[in-house]
Amino acid sequence: MAHRTSVVWDDVFTAYDFGPEHPMNPVRLDLTTRLARSLGVLDHVDLVHPDVASDELLATAHEPAYIEAVRAASADPAAADLNRGLGTDDDPAFRGMHEASARIVQGTVEVCRRVWEGEADHGVNYCGGLHHAMRSHASGFCIYNDIVVGIQWLLDHGVERVAYVDIDVHHGDGVERAFWNDPRVLTISLHESGRHLFPGTGWPGDVGGPDARGSVANVALPPGTVDASWLRAIDAVVPPLVRAFAPQVLVTQHGCDTHLEDPLAHLAITVDAQRRAHDELHTLAHEVCDGRWVALGGGGYELVDVVPRSWTHLTAIAAHVPVDVRTPVPDEWRSHVQELLGRPGPRRMGDLPEDRLPIWVQPWTMGHNPDHPLDRSVFGTRQAVFPLHGLDPWFE
Catalytic residue among 44, 122, 132, 259: 132
Active site residue 132: yes
Give the span between the Cα atoms of 219 and 133, in whole angstroms: 21
- pLDDT(2) > 70: no
Global model pTM greater than 0.95 = yes
In order, the DSSP letters of 326-382 are TSBPPHHHHHHHHHHHSSPPPSBS-SS-GGG-SPP---GGG---TTSHHHHHHHHHH
Q: Region 40-58: what's the mean pLDDT? A: 98
Cβ-based neighbour number of residue 118 at 10 Å: 10
* pLDDT, mean over the chain: 97
- pLDDT(147) > 80: yes
Which residue spans within the chain are E strands per DSSP?
Answer: 5-8, 46-48, 122-125, 162-166, 185-192, 216-221, 249-253, 293-296
Residue 395 banded pLDDT, cuts 50, 70, 90: confident
Residue 3 banded pLDDT, cuts 50, 70, 90: confident
pLDDT in tens, 261-296: 999 999 999 999 999 999 999 999 999 999 999 999
* pLDDT at residue 1, rounded to an integer: 53
